[in-house]
């Protein structure tokens, strides 16, 4: 038994001759947030539907909550919750009735069902609205109710398919708080989203799906380092220090007005140390050093561009004297 909540090896799915998932591998450690990113139609929902037993895969060795998806889908279903584009909320009945219905589906006793419903309605700030028809709820309230309903069965793994699409910024932030709380309770969250800032905020690991394959996978920081564009900016207050630094550094981008120099860098600890050592060795002190990494938008566009996967790995080190620029490209964390 592994500590992976979700493990997929060679997950395949086609519709007719359209290959949607072309043998992808996923490994989601228990108690973490994993985000599957991809453009429209990339296959995110298909992956969620397969892993949550709603549809079957064409191939692959798939385990969720330690159970083989093909051999024991019932056990998988008992361990998971799914919320997302296909909402389970019934608008004709009240929020409370929706919750109690869910409790019935999970075979909770009347008394236990009431207790769980009350607790979750409180937790999701739905007490005031509990006796009103769910159709009258705002988008954010409906999403909260949807997640509350999912939690009635105390799932250890939750699939959230684009949980904040269409929500206003405040509701999105509320939802992020809810997701963080779930994870702090030990729940594993499999999140699909088109919002890169959402993956950046929440996910421990992110996989970018493109053309049926995982184009890249890693933490948000690791992914940002995959593409060129990261740099370190050195700013000087003293024009003389600026001049000596720019004379000594080769291939930097100079900004004579701002007295700043820009060096290509992946922002890793090793590179920063190398830059700092070099500044010390030439006796120059910068007044400000800032690290600029590409954001996830840059990564997303580079990996899922119009021509498909164009993964490129930056091998540009800081432009420090060659003798000191000997660090490998492994990440510092
Ligand atoms: N039942 C189906 N029959 C045929 N094709 C399908 C079916 N379901 C999905 N597809 C196709 O599979 C591809 C992946 O769809 P999917 O809904 O998984 O993408 P997605 O990444 O979730 O997209 P979005 O962000 O738009 O929700 C799309 O090209 C879609 O048209």
- pLDDT tens, 167-178? 888 888 888 998
Q: Where are the alpha helices (DSSP H) in 67-209?
A: 73-79, 95-105, 110-123, 139-151, 169-184, 196-202
pLDDT band at 95 (very low <50, low <70, confident <90, very high): very high
Mean pLDDT rounded to a whole number for the chain: 85
Question: How close is the Cα of 142 to the center of ligand 1, in Å?
Answer: 24
Tell me the backbone φ, ψ of residue 235, rounded to 5 degrees: -115, 140
Is the predicted pLDDT of residue 331 greater than 50, yes or no? Answer: no
Q: Which of 16, 38, 39, 45 has most ligand 1 atoms within 8 Å of its beta carbon, as the pocket-test mutant?
A: 45
Instruction: Kindly give the number of the ligand 1 atom that is closest to the alpha carbon of 43.
Output: 18
Is the predicted pLDDT of residue 211 greater than 90, yes or no? Answer: no
Question: How close is the Cα of 20 to the center of ligand 1, in Å?
Answer: 8
- As a CATH number, domain 4-218 is 3.40.50.300
- Who wins on pLDDT, 248 or 133? 133
User: Would you kindly state where each structural domain of the chain is located, as residue ranges?
Assistant: 4-218, 227-324
Q: Which of 41, 165, 215 has most ligand 1 atoms within 8 Å of its beta carbon, as the pocket-test mutant?
A: 41
Per-residue pLDDT, averaged over 40-51, amounts to: 92
Most confident of 76-80, 196-200, 318-322: 76-80
Question: 110: buried, middle or exposed (CB in 10 Å: 19+, 13-18, 0-12)?
Answer: exposed
- Who wins on pLDDT, 72 or 227? 72
pLDDT at residue number 324 = 32
Q: Report ipTM for this prediction.
A: 0.95
pLDDT at residue number 323 = 29
Tell me the Cα Rg of the chain.
25
pLDDT band at 83 (very low <50, low <70, confident <90, very high): confident
Which 8-state DSSP code applies to residue 135?
Answer: G
Instruction: Kindly give the number of the ligand 1 atom that is closest to the alpha carbon of 47.
Output: 18
Cα 301-217-180 angle, rounded to 5 deg: 95
Helix (H, G, I), strand (E, B) or coil at 308: strand
d(CA 96, CA 287): 59
pLDDT at residue number 310 = 35
pLDDT band at 333 (very low <50, low <70, confident <90, very high): very low
- pLDDT-above-70 percentage for the chain: 90
pLDDT band at 306 (very low <50, low <70, confident <90, very high): low
pLDDT band at 267 (very low <50, low <70, confident <90, very high): confident
Question: pTM, whole model, 2 decimals?
Answer: 0.75
The residue to which tokens 């139609």 are assigned:
41
Is the predicted pLDDT of residue 313 greater than 60, yes or no? Answer: no
* pLDDT per residue as tens digits for the range 124-140: 889 999 999 999 998 88
Most confident of 70-79, 162-171, 280-289, 311-320: 70-79
d(CA 285, CA 273): 14
Give the contacts of 298 (CB within 8 A, at least 6 positions apart). Answer: 224, 227, 229
pLDDT at residue number 284 = 87
Q: Which of 12, 22, 42 has most ligand 1 atoms within 8 Å of its beta carbon, as the pocket-test mutant?
A: 42
Domain 227-324 has CATH 3.40.50: no
Lowest average pLDDT, out of 29-38, 98-107, 315-324, goes to 315-324
Per-residue pLDDT, averaged over 2-10, amounts to: 90
Most confident of 18-32, 35-49, 246-260, 271-285: 18-32
Do 181 and 151 meet the contact criterion of CB atoms below 8 Å apart?
A: no
> How many Cβ atoms sit within 10 Å of the Cβ of residue 257?
6
d(CA 161, CA 169): 18
Per-residue pLDDT, averaged over 41-52, amounts to: 93
CA 107, 113, 116, 121: dihedral to nearest 10 degrees?
120
Is the predicted pLDDT of residue 100 greater than 70, yes or no? Answer: yes
Domain 4-218 identical in fold to domain 227-324: no
> How many Cβ atoms sit within 10 Å of the Cβ of residue 293?
20
**Protein residue with its CA nearest to atom 4 in ligand 1:** 15
pLDDT band at 315 (very low <50, low <70, confident <90, very high): very low
Please list every protein residue whose CB sits less than 6 Å from any atom of ligand 1: 15, 20, 38, 40-46, 194
Is the predicted pLDDT of residue 312 greater than 60, yes or no? Answer: no
């Amino acid at each position: 038994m592994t500590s992976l909540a979700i493990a997929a090896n060679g997950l395949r799915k086609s519709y007719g001759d359209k290959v949607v998932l072309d043998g992808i591998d996923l490994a989601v450690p228990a108690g973490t947030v994993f985000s599957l990113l991809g453009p429209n139609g990339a296959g995110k929902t298909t992956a969620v539907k397969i892993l949550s037993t709603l549809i079957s895969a064409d191939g692959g060795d798939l385990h969720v909550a330690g159970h083989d998806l093909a051999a024991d889908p019932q056990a998988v279903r008992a361990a998971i919750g799914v919320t997302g584009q296909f909402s389970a909320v019934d608008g004709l009945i009240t929020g409370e009735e929706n919750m109690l219905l869910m409790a019935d589906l999970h075979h909770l006793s009347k008394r236990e069902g009431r207790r769980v419903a009350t607790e979750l309605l409180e937790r999701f700030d739905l007490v005031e609205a509990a006796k009103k028809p769910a159709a009258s709820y705002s988008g954010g309230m409906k999403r909260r109710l949807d997640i509350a309903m999912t939690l009635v069965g105390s799932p250890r793994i939750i699939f959230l398919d684009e949980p904040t699409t269409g929500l206003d910024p405040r509701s999105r932030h509320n939802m992020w708080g809810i997701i963080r709380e779930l994870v702090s309770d030990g729940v594993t969250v499999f999140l699909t989203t088109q919002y890169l800032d959402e993956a950046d905020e929440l996910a421990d690991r992110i996989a970018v799906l493109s053309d049926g394959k995982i184009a890249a996978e890693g933490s948000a920081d690791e992914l940002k380092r995959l593409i060129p564009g990261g740099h370190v900016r050195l700013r000087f207050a003293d024009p003389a220090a600026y001049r000596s630094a720019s004379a000594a550094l080769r291939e930097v981008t100079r900004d004579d007005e701002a007295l700043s120099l820009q060096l290509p860098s992946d922002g890793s600890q090793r590179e920063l140390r190398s830059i700092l050592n070099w500044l010390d060795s030439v006796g120059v002190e910068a007044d400000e050093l800032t690290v600029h990494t590409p954001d996830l938008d840059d990564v997303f566009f580079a990996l899922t561009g119009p021509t498909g996967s164009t993964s490129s790995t930056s091998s540009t080190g800081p432009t420090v004297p060659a003798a000191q620029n000997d660090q490998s490209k492994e990440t510092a964390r």
